[in-house]
A and B are shown apart, each in its own frame.
Chain A
Amino acid sequence: MLLAGDTDIRSVEQFLYREAILLDEARWQEWLALYTEDCFYWVPSVVGQKDPIETVSLYAEDRMRMEMRVIRVTHPRAFSQDFPTRLSHIVGNVMRDPEDGAGADGGMNPRADLVVRSTAQILEFRREDQRIFGGTVRHWLRRDGGDWKIAMKRIDLLNCDAPMEGLQLFL
């Protein structure tokens, strides 16, 4: 695990902002390129969820499933995207995770050099309605030359166990 002193937190912030912009602008291939080949994208369905193996998850996707979602959402016959969903992210409170991701990785044990904790507020708009999502985000980052790649992302939504309408994009 990399010490905080070795890392310029500003560069990490810029990296997270870049991810947010790619999501907001639906630049899916560039977004996928931020993730490692062995990545995992996880949005638990209960507060403090321990793992994605015993309990259902809003998202529990490896790279294959992430790529399938991107193919679907950009496919001309994705009827639920006749009116494409739009996103707008605000990322804040970026810091090295004080626990370095301990107990939060759901047993996925991602190979990472730095775990970053942030808060996200996400507006989602489709057709008539705007929804608000938000919560705590953890990125398990792996050094990739002079840059970072995401080995795992976990989003603990404030309303993870609420009744909700469909989620189509990545958050």
Chain B
Amino acid sequence: MRYDTATIASLVEPDRVHRSLYVDPALFDLEMERIFGRAWIYVGHESQVKKSGDYIATTIGKQPVVMSRDAEGKIHVLLNRCGHRGAKVVGDREGNVKVFRCCYHGWTYKTDGTLLGIPMSSGYDGTRLDMSDPRYGMMKVPRMELYRGFIFASLSDDGPDLATYLGDARTSIDNMVDRSPEGALEVVGGCFRVVFRANWKIFVENLNDTMHPMVVHESSVKAGEIWAKEHLPEGAPDPLAVRFTRNNGFPYAFWEKLTLKGHRNGHSYMGGIFPPRRTDPVFLEYVAAMEKSYGHERTEEILGVDRHNTIYYPNVSFQSGYQQVRIIRPLSVDRTQMDVYAFKLKGAPDEFYRHTLTYSNMVNAPSSIVMTDDHEAYNRVQEGLAAQSSEWVSLDRDAGRETVDGDWLSATGTSEMPMRNQYQTWSRFMTREA
């Protein structure tokens, strides 16, 4: 069906959303246009294109893009489409080139997207084609900005700048970078690409959903508990892998005491669930490196920021304390890909990065014994919503109990406030026609 503005507005109420948001392909197409086509979308990190000519290929919504570093060292986000007949120019995921060359008719482009050459270009003499017109190049996205090394792009030339859009929520990015003794991050080791059979928004909701861990993750919590009981002496500290599973089993009272924060642009974060300060030798060595760079007081301040997941609406989640970035790539109304990158903190001990990878492998790998059950839950929401027993999906928990402070809503740890907040933003994007 075609949706008019009034109909779209009627799909989101303060405490519930219509099931069509998850199941209707027409709404999905409109989301790609009005949300992924307008918002600031996270694309990648500068360390993924270190040298001139480096590029990575990805998507913004359904549109193929390339992030590249040009000969002068400047980073660009280009639409991955030949200015001639539209072929996707870059066919692999990453690499390094002098020029981009289309595989179809051999048009070449500089790594900033400018059209460089056309075979037998005399054939265009006296025609409408103008080689200096950017429309015949690989076009740059309308807007691209870096924030502390992270590249965001917008397919719309209209809207707030990146800093304004991220608002104070950007402090989670700050904290992730500040946790490096050199104030710099680097992607060095691969990427997980995990697919689940559910609408992308179900994952975005789940990132700050604290009523699910003890239920969904019971089997991995038990795996940690049972293993520890069978193998460790009473009172011995848990190995990291055990801790990463057991923490999900904290009682409801623990989660209730966390703080949830929702930003007016749809972003949100929750308080940390792992002890912010570890006491193992690797962590202590890391703290020493931090204190050398920042001094004791500033180090305490940086490590004192304890947030688990921060969501930048609509497509990226930062786990600042564990150096993980998860990119949400909607594939269709009922299929989503998640790209997960682990970051190295420059200047931290090598062994520290191994702990980062242990977290990646335990929690964010396709084989994760934790995430597998999340995906089962998402997939079942998608399948369950085919039942039309109600037109509405409940977001009632602690509704109306959040408090407002400037750009922020605050709520107790088990509130569904972040989801209600996400859908207010969803509605604002979706009801704006042009």
Contacts and interface: CB of A to CB of B under 8 A. Distances in A.
Interface of A: 43, 45-46, 49, 52-60, 64-65, 67-69, 71-73, 75, 77-80, 82, 161-168
B427 interface: no
B342 A56 contact: yes
Nearest to A54: B189
Interface in B218-239: 218-220, 222-224, 226-227, 231, 239
A84 to B, nearest CB: 13
B354 interface: yes
Contacts of A55: 188-190, 357
B337 A163 contact: yes
B149 interface: no
Closest 5 CB pairs of A and B: A55-B189, A80-B376, A78-B219, A163-B193, A72-B223
Contacts of B354: 53
Given A71-B222, A78-B219, A165-B375, 18 more contacts: A53-B353, A54-B189, A55-B188, A55-B190, A56-B190, A65-B362, A68-B223, A68-B227, A68-B242, A68-B245, A71-B226, A71-B227, A77-B222, A79-B377, A161-B193, A163-B337, A166-B368, A168-B372
Q: Is the interface of A mostly helix, strand, loop or mixed?
A: loop
A59 B197 CA distance: 22
A69 B370 CA distance: 10
Interface string B326-346: 000000000001001010000
Contacts, number: 115
A78 B242 CA distance: 17
Given A56-B342, A58-B366, A65 B241 contact: yes
Contacts of B223: 68-69, 71-72, 75
24 contacts: A43-B367, A45-B192, A46-B190, A49-B190, A53-B357, A54-B189, A56-B191, A56-B342, A58-B366, A59-B367, A60-B361, A64-B231, A68-B224, A72-B219, A72-B223, A73-B369, A75-B219, A75-B223, A77-B219, A79-B373, A164-B195, A164-B366, A166-B368, A168-B367
Contact of B369 (A45, A68, A79, A161): A68
Contacts of B373: 78-80
B166 interface: no
A162 to B, nearest CB: 7
B219 A165 contact: no
Contact of B372 (A54, A71, A80): A80
A56 B222 contact: no
B241 A166 contact: no
